[in-house]
Amino acid sequence: MSYSFLQRLGWCNAFLQQLSFDELCSDSTVGHLARVTAVHRNRVEAIGVEGERSIVVPAPFQPVSQHLAVGDWVLAEDASEHYRLRRILEPKNRIRRINHGLPQVIAANVDYLWIVTSANEEFNVKRLQRYLALAHEFAIVPVVILTKIDLCADLDDYLARVHAVGADHVHALSVHVPATLGVLQNYLAEGTTIALVGSSGVGKSTLVNAMFAMTLPTREIRTHDARGKHTTTHRELFFTDGGVAIVDTPGMRELQLYDGEQGIERTFSSIVELARSCRYGDCSHENEPGCAIRQAIADGAIAQAHFDNYRKLAREEASQQRRSLGAHAVKEHTRAYFKKIHSHNKLKY
Ligand SMILES: Nc1nc2c(ncn2[C@@H]2O[C@H](COP(=O)(O)OP(=O)(O)OP(=O)(O)O)[C@@H](O)[C@H]2O)c(=O)[nH]1
Ligand SMILES: [Zn+2]
Protein backbone atom coordinates (compact mmCIF):
# COMPACT_ATOMS: atom_id res chain seq x y z
CA MET A 1 0.00 0.00 0.00
CA SER A 2 1.31 3.42 -0.84
CA TYR A 3 0.57 7.09 -0.60
CA SER A 4 -1.28 6.96 -3.91
CA PHE A 5 -4.00 4.93 -2.23
CA LEU A 6 -4.50 7.76 0.24
CA GLN A 7 -5.30 10.15 -2.62
CA ARG A 8 -8.73 8.55 -2.89
CA LEU A 9 -9.29 9.79 0.64
CA GLY A 10 -8.20 13.36 -0.14
CA TRP A 11 -4.46 13.07 0.50
CA CYS A 12 -2.33 15.55 -1.45
CA ASN A 13 1.19 16.98 -1.64
CA ALA A 14 0.46 19.65 0.94
CA PHE A 15 0.25 16.86 3.52
CA LEU A 16 3.18 14.86 2.18
CA GLN A 17 5.38 17.93 2.61
CA GLN A 18 4.60 17.98 6.30
CA LEU A 19 6.24 14.63 6.93
CA SER A 20 9.78 14.64 8.27
CA PHE A 21 12.57 12.88 6.44
CA ASP A 22 12.52 10.10 9.02
CA GLU A 23 8.77 9.71 8.69
CA LEU A 24 9.01 9.53 4.92
CA CYS A 25 11.70 6.86 5.14
CA SER A 26 9.84 4.75 7.67
CA ASP A 27 7.82 1.84 6.31
CA SER A 28 5.21 2.21 9.01
CA THR A 29 4.29 5.84 8.28
CA VAL A 30 1.81 5.28 5.46
CA GLY A 31 -0.11 2.80 7.62
CA HIS A 32 -0.30 5.33 10.41
CA LEU A 33 -1.81 8.12 8.34
CA ALA A 34 -5.57 8.38 8.47
CA ARG A 35 -8.42 10.77 7.78
CA VAL A 36 -10.87 11.46 10.57
CA THR A 37 -14.44 10.30 9.87
CA ALA A 38 -16.02 10.77 13.30
CA VAL A 39 -15.10 12.55 16.51
CA HIS A 40 -15.87 11.34 20.02
CA ARG A 41 -14.91 12.56 23.46
CA ASN A 42 -11.59 10.73 23.80
CA ARG A 43 -11.03 9.16 20.45
CA VAL A 44 -11.64 9.60 16.76
CA GLU A 45 -12.60 7.17 14.03
CA ALA A 46 -10.36 7.44 11.01
CA ILE A 47 -9.78 5.71 7.70
CA GLY A 48 -6.40 4.86 6.18
CA VAL A 49 -4.80 2.26 3.93
CA GLU A 50 -5.83 -0.50 6.32
CA GLY A 51 -9.44 0.66 6.62
CA GLU A 52 -11.33 2.14 9.56
CA ARG A 53 -9.72 2.36 12.94
CA SER A 54 -10.25 3.99 16.29
CA ILE A 55 -7.49 6.34 17.48
CA VAL A 56 -7.18 7.39 21.10
CA VAL A 57 -6.67 11.14 21.56
CA PRO A 58 -4.21 11.97 24.37
CA ALA A 59 -4.43 14.95 26.74
CA PRO A 60 -2.55 17.57 24.67
CA PHE A 61 -5.28 17.34 22.01
CA GLN A 62 -8.17 17.63 24.45
CA PRO A 63 -10.89 18.77 24.26
CA VAL A 64 -11.00 16.94 20.95
CA SER A 65 -13.61 19.18 19.29
CA GLN A 66 -11.40 22.23 19.72
CA HIS A 67 -8.42 20.60 18.04
CA LEU A 68 -9.68 18.49 15.20
CA ALA A 69 -12.73 17.50 13.22
CA VAL A 70 -13.92 15.19 10.52
CA GLY A 71 -11.75 15.64 7.46
CA ASP A 72 -8.52 16.20 9.38
CA TRP A 73 -5.47 14.12 8.52
CA VAL A 74 -3.69 12.61 11.48
CA LEU A 75 -0.55 10.62 12.10
CA ALA A 76 -1.07 7.89 14.67
CA GLU A 77 1.37 5.69 16.53
CA ASP A 78 1.17 2.26 18.11
CA ALA A 79 0.39 2.25 21.80
CA SER A 80 0.17 -0.97 23.81
CA GLU A 81 -3.22 -2.17 22.59
CA HIS A 82 -4.46 0.63 20.42
CA TYR A 83 -3.52 3.47 18.12
CA ARG A 84 -2.80 6.84 19.66
CA LEU A 85 -2.85 10.25 17.99
CA ARG A 86 0.64 11.63 17.49
CA ARG A 87 -0.02 14.72 15.47
CA ILE A 88 -2.57 16.50 13.34
CA LEU A 89 -1.37 17.57 9.92
CA GLU A 90 -1.90 21.25 9.16
CA PRO A 91 -5.21 21.35 7.23
CA LYS A 92 -5.95 23.24 4.02
CA ASN A 93 -8.78 24.91 5.88
CA ARG A 94 -11.09 24.47 8.85
CA ILE A 95 -14.74 25.28 9.32
CA ARG A 96 -15.18 26.64 12.82
CA ARG A 97 -17.95 28.02 14.92
CA ILE A 98 -18.64 29.12 18.46
CA ASN A 99 -20.47 26.53 20.51
CA HIS A 100 -21.55 27.54 24.04
CA GLY A 101 -18.94 30.28 23.93
CA LEU A 102 -16.11 27.96 22.92
CA PRO A 103 -14.49 27.63 19.51
CA GLN A 104 -15.30 24.34 17.86
CA VAL A 105 -13.93 22.82 14.68
CA ILE A 106 -16.71 21.37 12.53
CA ALA A 107 -14.84 20.05 9.52
CA ALA A 108 -11.41 20.27 7.94
CA ASN A 109 -9.90 20.06 4.48
CA VAL A 110 -13.10 20.93 2.64
CA ASP A 111 -12.83 21.80 -1.07
CA TYR A 112 -16.37 22.97 -1.83
CA LEU A 113 -19.16 24.37 0.27
CA TRP A 114 -22.40 23.42 -1.45
CA ILE A 115 -24.85 26.08 -0.33
CA VAL A 116 -28.23 24.49 -0.95
CA THR A 117 -31.31 26.64 -1.14
CA SER A 118 -34.65 25.96 -2.77
CA ALA A 119 -36.43 28.08 -5.34
CA ASN A 120 -39.46 28.71 -3.16
CA GLU A 121 -40.45 30.67 -0.05
CA GLU A 122 -37.46 29.22 1.79
CA PHE A 123 -35.14 31.29 -0.38
CA ASN A 124 -33.50 34.07 1.62
CA VAL A 125 -30.86 36.40 0.25
CA LYS A 126 -29.44 37.24 3.65
CA ARG A 127 -28.95 33.63 4.58
CA LEU A 128 -27.23 33.12 1.26
CA GLN A 129 -24.91 36.03 1.90
CA ARG A 130 -24.09 34.67 5.31
CA TYR A 131 -23.11 31.32 3.86
CA LEU A 132 -21.06 32.96 1.12
CA ALA A 133 -19.28 35.02 3.76
CA LEU A 134 -18.52 31.85 5.69
CA ALA A 135 -17.12 30.08 2.66
CA HIS A 136 -14.83 33.00 1.88
CA GLU A 137 -13.80 33.25 5.50
CA PHE A 138 -12.76 29.61 5.62
CA ALA A 139 -11.14 29.67 2.17
CA ILE A 140 -13.59 27.17 0.71
CA VAL A 141 -15.04 27.56 -2.79
CA PRO A 142 -18.79 28.27 -2.47
CA VAL A 143 -21.18 26.62 -4.90
CA VAL A 144 -24.78 27.83 -4.77
CA ILE A 145 -27.29 25.13 -5.62
CA LEU A 146 -30.86 26.19 -6.22
CA THR A 147 -33.08 23.12 -5.84
CA LYS A 148 -36.69 22.19 -6.64
CA ILE A 149 -36.81 24.16 -9.87
CA ASP A 150 -39.49 21.73 -11.11
CA LEU A 151 -41.90 23.51 -8.75
CA CYS A 152 -40.82 27.00 -9.70
CA ALA A 153 -42.43 29.29 -12.28
CA ASP A 154 -40.08 32.27 -11.96
CA LEU A 155 -36.62 30.72 -11.99
CA ASP A 156 -35.01 33.70 -13.69
CA ASP A 157 -36.07 35.87 -10.82
CA TYR A 158 -34.39 33.57 -8.29
CA LEU A 159 -31.26 33.30 -10.41
CA ALA A 160 -31.05 37.07 -10.72
CA ARG A 161 -31.20 37.37 -6.95
CA VAL A 162 -28.46 34.77 -6.50
CA HIS A 163 -26.21 36.46 -9.04
CA ALA A 164 -26.82 39.82 -7.39
CA VAL A 165 -25.03 38.68 -4.24
CA GLY A 166 -21.90 37.94 -6.24
CA ALA A 167 -21.86 34.15 -6.30
CA ASP A 168 -19.58 32.71 -9.01
CA HIS A 169 -20.69 29.08 -9.10
CA VAL A 170 -24.47 28.85 -9.35
CA HIS A 171 -26.49 25.82 -10.47
CA ALA A 172 -30.25 25.40 -10.66
CA LEU A 173 -31.58 21.87 -10.61
CA SER A 174 -34.24 19.40 -9.67
CA VAL A 175 -33.77 15.81 -8.58
CA HIS A 176 -36.79 15.02 -10.73
CA VAL A 177 -35.00 16.23 -13.86
CA PRO A 178 -31.83 14.08 -13.94
CA ALA A 179 -30.24 16.06 -16.77
CA THR A 180 -29.99 19.10 -14.46
CA LEU A 181 -27.73 17.20 -12.05
CA GLY A 182 -25.01 16.55 -14.62
CA VAL A 183 -23.25 19.87 -14.12
CA LEU A 184 -22.35 18.91 -10.55
CA GLN A 185 -20.07 16.18 -11.89
CA ASN A 186 -17.49 18.94 -12.38
CA TYR A 187 -17.00 19.03 -8.62
CA LEU A 188 -16.58 15.31 -8.11
CA ALA A 189 -12.96 14.54 -8.91
CA GLU A 190 -11.56 11.70 -6.80
CA GLY A 191 -10.22 12.97 -3.49
CA THR A 192 -12.56 15.99 -3.37
CA THR A 193 -14.29 16.90 -0.12
CA ILE A 194 -17.67 18.59 -0.13
CA ALA A 195 -19.66 20.04 2.76
CA LEU A 196 -23.33 20.89 2.42
CA VAL A 197 -25.16 23.67 4.20
CA GLY A 198 -28.71 24.87 3.93
CA SER A 199 -31.97 24.94 5.83
CA SER A 200 -33.87 21.84 6.72
CA GLY A 201 -36.00 20.59 3.85
CA VAL A 202 -34.19 22.27 0.97
CA GLY A 203 -33.22 18.87 -0.40
CA LYS A 204 -29.62 18.23 0.72
CA SER A 205 -30.04 14.54 1.49
CA THR A 206 -32.22 13.96 -1.55
CA LEU A 207 -29.56 15.56 -3.72
CA VAL A 208 -26.71 13.53 -2.23
CA ASN A 209 -28.70 10.33 -2.61
CA ALA A 210 -29.59 11.15 -6.21
CA MET A 211 -26.02 12.13 -7.11
CA PHE A 212 -24.30 9.19 -5.57
CA ALA A 213 -27.01 6.54 -5.74
CA MET A 214 -26.54 5.95 -2.06
CA THR A 215 -28.64 6.23 1.00
CA LEU A 216 -27.12 8.22 3.79
CA PRO A 217 -26.94 5.98 6.81
CA THR A 218 -28.58 7.10 9.99
CA ARG A 219 -26.16 9.47 11.56
CA GLU A 220 -27.76 10.17 14.88
CA ILE A 221 -25.93 9.20 18.03
CA ARG A 222 -28.17 10.20 20.91
CA THR A 223 -26.35 11.15 24.08
CA HIS A 224 -27.04 13.12 27.22
CA ASP A 225 -25.03 16.10 28.33
CA ALA A 226 -23.96 16.84 31.91
CA ARG A 227 -27.41 18.16 32.85
CA GLY A 228 -29.14 15.15 31.43
CA LYS A 229 -30.31 17.18 28.46
CA HIS A 230 -30.85 15.25 25.29
CA THR A 231 -28.32 16.10 22.62
CA THR A 232 -27.70 14.66 19.23
CA THR A 233 -24.28 14.34 17.71
CA HIS A 234 -23.57 12.88 14.35
CA ARG A 235 -20.39 14.24 12.96
CA GLU A 236 -19.50 12.11 10.01
CA LEU A 237 -17.59 12.03 6.79
CA PHE A 238 -18.77 9.68 4.05
CA PHE A 239 -16.86 8.45 1.03
CA THR A 240 -18.70 7.75 -2.20
CA ASP A 241 -17.67 4.97 -4.58
CA GLY A 242 -15.98 7.59 -6.73
CA GLY A 243 -13.72 8.75 -3.89
CA VAL A 244 -15.62 11.92 -2.98
CA ALA A 245 -15.88 12.74 0.71
CA ILE A 246 -19.13 14.28 1.92
CA VAL A 247 -19.55 16.18 5.18
CA ASP A 248 -23.14 16.56 6.34
CA THR A 249 -23.37 17.21 10.05
CA PRO A 250 -25.56 19.07 12.54
CA GLY A 251 -22.58 21.31 13.26
CA MET A 252 -22.73 22.45 9.65
CA ARG A 253 -26.40 23.25 10.12
CA GLU A 254 -25.75 25.42 13.13
CA LEU A 255 -22.94 27.41 11.59
CA GLN A 256 -22.66 30.96 12.80
CA LEU A 257 -20.35 33.66 11.75
CA TYR A 258 -17.08 33.23 13.51
CA ASP A 259 -14.17 35.58 13.08
CA GLY A 260 -15.97 36.59 9.93
CA GLU A 261 -14.43 39.94 9.10
CA GLN A 262 -12.44 38.74 6.14
CA GLY A 263 -15.36 36.76 4.77
CA ILE A 264 -17.64 39.75 4.99
CA GLU A 265 -15.11 41.86 3.16
CA ARG A 266 -15.02 39.41 0.31
CA THR A 267 -18.77 39.02 0.03
CA PHE A 268 -19.27 42.75 0.18
CA SER A 269 -16.07 43.73 -1.58
CA SER A 270 -17.74 46.55 -3.54
CA ILE A 271 -18.96 48.18 -0.32
CA VAL A 272 -15.63 47.78 1.43
CA GLU A 273 -13.91 49.25 -1.60
CA LEU A 274 -16.30 52.21 -1.72
CA ALA A 275 -15.90 52.91 1.99
CA ARG A 276 -12.24 53.66 1.32
CA SER A 277 -13.35 56.69 -0.67
CA CYS A 278 -15.34 58.21 2.21
CA ARG A 279 -13.83 61.50 3.31
CA TYR A 280 -13.29 60.28 6.86
CA GLY A 281 -11.44 57.07 7.59
CA ASP A 282 -13.83 56.17 10.39
CA CYS A 283 -16.97 57.17 8.49
CA SER A 284 -20.07 55.52 9.91
CA HIS A 285 -21.92 56.13 6.63
CA GLU A 286 -24.73 57.77 8.60
CA ASN A 287 -24.50 61.51 8.04
CA GLU A 288 -20.86 62.49 7.63
CA PRO A 289 -20.11 64.77 4.67
CA GLY A 290 -18.31 63.15 1.78
CA CYS A 291 -19.66 59.66 2.43
CA ALA A 292 -19.09 57.60 -0.69
CA ILE A 293 -21.52 54.89 0.36
CA ARG A 294 -24.51 57.20 0.82
CA GLN A 295 -23.63 58.83 -2.47
CA ALA A 296 -23.59 55.45 -4.20
CA ILE A 297 -26.95 54.54 -2.68
CA ALA A 298 -28.37 57.88 -3.82
CA ASP A 299 -27.00 57.27 -7.31
CA GLY A 300 -28.50 53.80 -7.37
CA ALA A 301 -25.04 52.25 -7.75
CA ILE A 302 -25.60 50.01 -4.75
CA ALA A 303 -28.91 48.89 -3.32
CA GLN A 304 -29.92 50.12 0.11
CA ALA A 305 -30.87 46.52 1.00
CA HIS A 306 -27.41 45.26 0.09
CA PHE A 307 -25.80 47.84 2.34
CA ASP A 308 -28.28 47.12 5.17
CA ASN A 309 -27.37 43.47 4.93
CA TYR A 310 -23.69 44.26 5.08
CA ARG A 311 -24.24 46.27 8.24
CA LYS A 312 -26.37 43.59 9.81
CA LEU A 313 -23.74 40.91 9.22
CA ALA A 314 -20.97 43.19 10.41
CA ARG A 315 -22.90 43.91 13.61
CA GLU A 316 -23.63 40.22 14.19
CA GLU A 317 -19.99 39.45 13.71
CA ALA A 318 -18.96 42.13 16.20
CA SER A 319 -21.33 40.83 18.87
CA GLN A 320 -20.20 37.28 18.20
CA GLN A 321 -16.62 38.37 18.73
CA ARG A 322 -17.55 40.30 21.84
CA ARG A 323 -19.04 37.15 23.29
CA SER A 324 -16.08 35.00 22.32
CA LEU A 325 -13.19 37.34 23.01
CA GLY A 326 -14.48 39.64 25.73
CA ALA A 327 -15.31 43.33 25.28
CA HIS A 328 -11.77 44.59 25.76
CA ALA A 329 -10.30 42.42 23.02
CA VAL A 330 -13.00 43.56 20.62
CA LYS A 331 -12.28 47.19 21.36
CA GLU A 332 -8.61 46.61 20.60
CA HIS A 333 -9.48 44.65 17.52
CA THR A 334 -11.84 47.35 16.22
CA ARG A 335 -9.28 50.05 16.91
CA ALA A 336 -6.62 48.17 14.98
CA TYR A 337 -9.03 47.51 12.15
CA PHE A 338 -9.99 51.14 11.69
CA LYS A 339 -6.37 52.14 11.99
CA LYS A 340 -5.59 49.82 9.12
CA ILE A 341 -8.30 51.33 6.93
CA HIS A 342 -7.32 54.81 7.94
CA SER A 343 -3.68 54.35 7.06
CA HIS A 344 -4.82 52.90 3.77
CA ASN A 345 -6.81 56.08 3.11
CA LYS A 346 -3.84 58.24 4.01
CA LEU A 347 -1.69 56.40 1.51
CA LYS A 348 -4.29 56.93 -1.12
CA TYR A 349 -4.64 60.67 -0.78
N1 LIG B 1 -40.17 18.74 -6.13
C2 LIG B 1 -38.96 18.54 -5.61
N3 LIG B 1 -38.86 18.09 -4.35
C4 LIG B 1 -37.63 17.89 -3.83
C5 LIG B 1 -36.46 18.16 -4.58
N6 LIG B 1 -35.39 17.88 -3.79
C7 LIG B 1 -35.88 17.47 -2.61
N8 LIG B 1 -37.23 17.46 -2.62
C9 LIG B 1 -38.11 17.10 -1.52
O10 LIG B 1 -37.93 17.99 -0.43
C11 LIG B 1 -38.11 17.31 0.82
C12 LIG B 1 -36.94 17.57 1.75
O13 LIG B 1 -35.77 17.02 1.18
P14 LIG B 1 -34.51 16.54 2.09
O15 LIG B 1 -33.50 16.00 1.14
O16 LIG B 1 -34.96 15.67 3.18
O17 LIG B 1 -34.04 17.93 2.68
P18 LIG B 1 -32.73 18.19 3.60
O19 LIG B 1 -32.17 19.48 3.14
O20 LIG B 1 -31.83 17.02 3.57
O21 LIG B 1 -33.40 18.38 5.02
P22 LIG B 1 -32.71 18.08 6.46
O23 LIG B 1 -32.24 16.66 6.45
O24 LIG B 1 -33.83 18.32 7.43
O25 LIG B 1 -31.60 19.08 6.62
C26 LIG B 1 -38.30 15.84 0.47
O27 LIG B 1 -39.67 15.54 0.53
C28 LIG B 1 -37.79 15.74 -0.95
O29 LIG B 1 -38.42 14.71 -1.67
C30 LIG B 1 -36.59 18.64 -5.92
O31 LIG B 1 -35.63 18.91 -6.66
N32 LIG B 1 -37.88 18.81 -6.37
ZN1 LIG C 1 -19.10 56.75 4.54
DSSP letter for each residue of 230-261: EEEE---EEE-TTS-EEE--HHHHT----S-H
What is the distance in A from the centroid of ligand 2 to the CA of 281? Answer: 8
- 6 neighbors 48 (Cβ within 8 angstroms): yes
CATH class for domain 3-90? Answer: mainly beta
Give φ, ψ of 112 to 5 degrees. -130, 140
What is the distance in A from the centroid of ligand 2 to the CA of 228? Answer: 51
Which residue, by CA, sits nearest to atom 25 of ligand 1? 200
Q: What residue ranges do the domains of the chain occupy?
A: 3-90, 106-253, 268-348
Q: Residues within the annotated binding site for Zn(2+)?
A: 278, 283, 285, 291
Q: Residues within the annotated binding site for GTP?
A: 147-150, 198-206
Which residue, by CA, sits nearest to atom 6 of ligand 1? 203
* Same-fold call for 3-90 versus 106-253: no
- 274 neighbors 242 (Cβ within 8 angstroms): no
Mind listing the pLDDT tens digit for each residue in 80-115? 888 999 999 999 999 987 776 677 899 999 999 999
Which of the ligands is closest to the CA of residue 297?
2
- 128 neighbors 89 (Cβ within 8 angstroms): no
Which of the ligands is closest to the CA of residue 218?
1
**pLDDT at residue 274, rounded to an integer:** 87
Tell me which architecture the domain covering 268-348 has in CATH: Orthogonal Bundle (1.10)
**pLDDT at residue 304, rounded to an integer:** 82
Tell me which of 155, 171, 206 to substitute to probe ligand 1's pocket, judged by most ligand atoms within 8 Å of the beta carbon: 206
**pLDDT at residue 189, rounded to an integer:** 95
Q: Where are the beta strands (DSSP E) in the chain?
A: 33-39, 43-48, 51-56, 73-79, 82-88, 94-99, 102-108, 112-118, 141-147, 169-172, 193-197, 221-224, 230-233, 237-239, 245-247
CA distance 291 to 278: 5
Tell me which architecture the domain covering 106-253 has in CATH: 3-Layer(aba) Sandwich (3.40)
Percent of the chain with pLDDT over 90: 45
Which residue, by CA, sits nearest to atom 29 of ligand 1? 206
Let me know if 342 is exposed, middle or buried by CB neighbors in 10 A (0-12, 13-18, 19+): middle
What is the distance in A from the centroid of ligand 1 to the CA of 263? Answer: 29
**pLDDT at residue 333, rounded to an integer:** 55
Mind listing the pLDDT tens digit for each residue in 243-274? 999 997 777 766 644 445 556 666 677 788 88
Which residue, by CA, sits nearest to atom 24 of ligand 1? 200
Q: What sign does the CA torsion over 327, 328, 329, 330 have? A: positive
Give the pLDDT means over successive 10-residue stretches in the chain (349 positions). 86 95 93 94 91 92 93 94 94 84 87 93 84 83 94 92 88 94 94 91 88 57 41 65 85 59 66 88 90 92 79 75 60 55 45
- 143 neighbors 169 (Cβ within 8 angstroms): yes
* For the CA of 173, the nearest atom of ligand 1: 31
- 67 neighbors 59 (Cβ within 8 angstroms): no
Which of the ligands is closest to the CA of residue 216?
1
**pLDDT at residue 220, rounded to an integer:** 41
**pLDDT at residue 13, rounded to an integer:** 93
CA distances from 76 to 13, 23, 35, 272 (A): 19, 12, 10, 44
